[in-house]
Structure 1
Amino acid sequence: MYEQDFSKDVQVRTFRTLFLSDIHLGTRGCQAELLLDFLRHHQAETIYLVGDIIDGWRLRKKRFWPASHQAVMNLLLERGRQGTTIVYLPGNHDEFLRKSRKLRFGCVEFADDVEHVTAAGRRYLVIHGDQYDVVIQKAKWLAYLGDRFYVTALAMNTWLNIARRKLGMNYWSLGAFAKQHVKQFVNIIGQFENTVASDIRQRKLDGVICGHIHHATSRDMNGLHYLNTGDWVESCTAVGERFDGTLEIVRWAGSEQATTRTNHDREPVIAA
């Protein structure tokens, strides 16, 4: 049985809002232990679960649900029972939950997308993001094929990091490196971001907070604020809203190596 150790005093950072996506519970690549550590050190008045929280694609093929994955669900539900607002916006991997849209089950509210207003009054669309993915919408079979390649790459990454740990080195993501440096990945990410920004401009909103492509970033796109939450498979990132309305990307490498990414050429802190 999985048990969490809350006996030690920990420094907790409180946000007005936390945005988490692409956790992929039910897969071997899910960094559930790191997410539990992150949640232990972070509280929020509202938590948005921005899709692909549970990986229905993988669970349909083979059941994989260790105690740490159930512990993530239990902790989130416990936060909801304690008064945290929990909003679940299903993605393509947990699309079976889209039938629950605009409903509330216990302490969890379901919706396809929502408009979030920050403490500073700026309006953001919160949505998983697969709605902007041409492959998902037009050629889903290709998306399933891509998912199989992705699982293979994650398996390779697991063995790579076992070797790195034995050498005393920190976790390193092969997939994240490829997305930053391989031209094809960079082009796909750029197209996705431009498509999202175009829709947000038509909706006359100030920005968007989404997931789906497993690439965390915060950037200004000609006056629109584009935020991607990243994932809890490779990058272990979230988006946090401070009480003054500022939005930032939080990168988590464990409580002993905790870092908050706030100043980067592609990840500015923007008072929202």
Structure 2
Amino acid sequence: MNTINSKAKKHYPAVWISDTHLGYKDCQANYLLNFLNSIECDVLYLVGDIVDLWSMKRQFFWHQSHYQVLACIQQKAQNGTRVIYIPGNHDETFRHYINNSLFGIEVHRQFIHTTVANKRFLLLHGDDFDSATRYNKLISIAGDVGYDLLLFLNRWTNRFRRLCGVNYWSLASWLKARVHKAQAAIHAFENAAVHEAKKQGVDGIICGHIHHPEIKVIDDIVYCNDGDWIENCTALVEDKNGRIELLHWSETHTVLNSADLSKIDTLSTSDKNKHAA
């Protein structure tokens, strides 16, 4: 885990964020705003659940910092950054605008990104794979209730930590890592994502949805999940040398994991298609 020097803005060819859940009380918007103001990029990918319309329908909440995040993204688009938005399930209303532009921001259902190292990545939110985790509607509703409790505990734990002068720490992620069913669901999701990447003949896949940041190679496919800004405060970035890094951004700025794509041998497109068949 490496500490990042964030005094000067760093430029990246591409940056991925998702699951910011603006409009939800547990969104870590201040950390996200600090991250966005600390970087410049050629392409900014918003990989779903940017605005939490589900939460806002239940109880309206909109902090000034949430507006500032949207304003910052809009400003980047106006200043020449290509912003590509792939709506998720919590902001699925915006899927009505697929293949159109909203305020200079492109809206897509899926997208293919070609990295500096000439690796092709499929980008999608990830709710397409919910069936793979064996969640029926009843379990999903029960999970939402349990998740709200988990985030309540996370929120108050970190309020206490701040009073003690201690940095942010995700109690929610720590607990999920120790629940067998949660881990089984994560592995099922990852395998479903890898299967879809093989089906589409790409080298890797980048998604969000499950709030579990990760970079790993599974069966010759580079699987990347950019995490979230509820529990983990994470983003994926691509540097000019073809390396993808998973960043954590709170009071501390660290590289959690990375992959040098120029040194990763993935299957050729024809081999992937043969494998998927």
* Count of residue correspondences: 258
Please state whether the residue corresponding to 1:170 is helix, strand or coil: coil
Task: Give the conservation status (yes or no) of the 8 Å contact 1:135–1:142.
Answer: no
Work out whether 1:218 is the aligned partner of 2:215: yes
Amino acid at match of 1:110: V
Amino acid at match of 2:124: I
Amino acid at match of 1:261: L
Work out whether 1:30 is the aligned partner of 2:27: yes
Q: CA RMSD in A?
A: 1.9
Deviates more, 1:164-173 or 1:225-234: 164-173
Please state whether the residue corresponding to 1:181 is helix, strand or coil: coil
Identity %: 35
Spell out the pairing of 1:1-272 with structure 2 (5 A cutoff): 10-134=7-131, 139-140=136-137, 142-254=139-251, 257-262=252-257, 268-271=259-262
Task: Give the conservation status (yes or no) of the 8 Å contact 2:133–2:188.
Answer: no
**CA shift in 2, pair 1:140/1:89, >3 Å:** farther
Residues 215-266 of structure 1: per-residue CA shift (max 9 Å, x gap):
0000011211000000001110001011222211111123xx221224xxxx
* Structure 2, unpaired ranges of 5+: 1-5, 265-277
Shift of residue 89, structure 1, vs aligned partner:
0.3
**CA shift in 2, pair 1:102/1:73, >3 Å:** same
d(CA) in 1 for partners of 2:14, 2:24: 26
* Structure 1, unpaired ranges of 5+: 1-8
Amino acid at match of 1:250: L
Task: Give the conservation status (yes or no) of the 8 Å contact 1:136–1:143.
Answer: no
TM-score (norm 2): 0.88
Shift of residue 141, structure 1, vs aligned partner:
5.2
Deviates more, 1:59-68 or 1:241-250: 241-250
**CA shift in 2, pair 1:137/1:122, >3 Å:** same
Please state whether the residue corresponding to 1:78 is helix, strand or coil: helix
Task: Give the conservation status (yes or no) of the 8 Å contact 1:115–1:126.
Answer: yes
